[in-house]
């Protein structure tokens, strides 16, 4: 980021007044850290870098987070919290399993274009402590289970062609997580356009083909998603 852009970082405003509420300042720390994790990588970013970007002292920063890992975990919590809220809405209001998968892909792709989603997916998990690694893996498994459930629902309602939900979920997640590597906010496509194209492309291979009479094949037996 150019020096003049750093000097006019919008997140500095949160600390310009002592009257600002702590939650606003905490959010500014998280957003600034996410920017730096993307620019320099998590391993090369220090708390001094975050404090300097916000034009505050390290002791002031410690009031909100004691170490860099705490910041990263909070970014994970925010990102997965966004996804969890979306997933609950999908489960409650979307129709077939295929429609739920499509909505999941579009929503997840959008999260992968915001800084919180991009920085955590670029992380080398080897930089984490064992406790943090366990917490992060738990977030990922929770999302994976929800996606597999949507896929299995589609197999049973006939909207998704019979397949192994585990392999299908891994394929979708791999494609979605790669967005954070190549996505550029100033690129030719907006985040919404990318999300829609991913949803359309990734569900085409799952969609059950209609028979000549217009019906879809229906699977009655259990699928093997927990192998």
Give every CB contact of residue 61 below 8 A, 6+ residues apart in sequence.
Answer: 29, 47, 50, 51, 54
Structure confidence at residue 38 (pLDDT): 84
Query: Sign (positive/negative) of CA torsion 124, 103, 184, 84?
Result: negative
pLDDT at 13 (0 to 100) = 64
206: exposed, middle or buried (C-beta count within 10 Å: 0-12, 13-18, 19+)? buried
Give every residue of the chain whose pLDDT is below 50, as ranges. 2-5, 7, 212, 219-227
pLDDT attached to residue 225: 42
In the chain, ranges of CATH 1.10.10.60 domains: 3-62
Fold of the domain spanning 3-62? Arc Repressor Mutant, subunit A (1.10.10)
Question: Which residue is associated with the tokens 């860099």?
Answer: 68
> Which regions of the chain carry the CATH code 1.10.357.10?
73-204
Cα–Cα distance measured from residue 162 to residue 144, given in angstroms and rounded to the nearest whole number: 18
Classify 158 as helix, strand or coil.
coil
- Burial readout 44-62 (b: 16 or more C-beta within 10 A, e: otherwise): ebebebbbbbbebeeeebe
The model's pTM: 0.75
pLDDT given for residue 159 in this prediction? 95
What ranges in 41-123 are assigned the alpha helix state H? 47-54, 58-62, 68-93, 97-111, 115-121
Which tokens in the block code for residue 120? 């955590």
Question: What CATH code would you report for 73-204?
Answer: 1.10.357.10
């Amino acid at each position: 980021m150019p020096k003049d852009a750093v000097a006019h970082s919008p997140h500095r405003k949160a600390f310009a007044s002592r009257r600002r509420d702590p939650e606003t300042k905490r959010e500014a720390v998280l957003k600034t850290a996410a920017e730096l994790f993307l620019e320099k990588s998590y391993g090369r970013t220090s708390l001094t870098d975050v404090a300097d970007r916000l034009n505050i002292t390290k002791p002031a920063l410690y009031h909100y987070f004691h170490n860099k890992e705490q910041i990263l975990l909070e970014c994970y919590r925010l990102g997965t919290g966004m996804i969890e809220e979306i997933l609950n809405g999908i489960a409650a209001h979307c129709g077939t399993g295929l429609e739920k998968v499509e909505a999941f892909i579009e929503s997840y792709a959008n999260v992968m274009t915001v800084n919180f989603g991009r920085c955590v997916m670029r992380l080398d998990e080897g930089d984490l402590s064992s406790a943090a690694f366990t917490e992060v893996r738990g977030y990922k498994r929770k999302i994976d289970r929800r996606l597999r459930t949507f896929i299995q629902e589609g197999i049973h309602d006939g909207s998704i062609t019979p397949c192994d939900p585990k392999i299908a979920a891994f394929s979708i997640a791999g494609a979605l997580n790669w967005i954070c590597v190549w996505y550029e906010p100033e690129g030719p496509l907006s985040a919404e356009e990318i999300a829609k194209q991913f949803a359309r492309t990734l569900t085409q291979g799952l969609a059950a083909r209609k028979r000549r009479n217009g019906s879809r094949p229906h699977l009655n037996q259990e699928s093997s998603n927990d192998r």
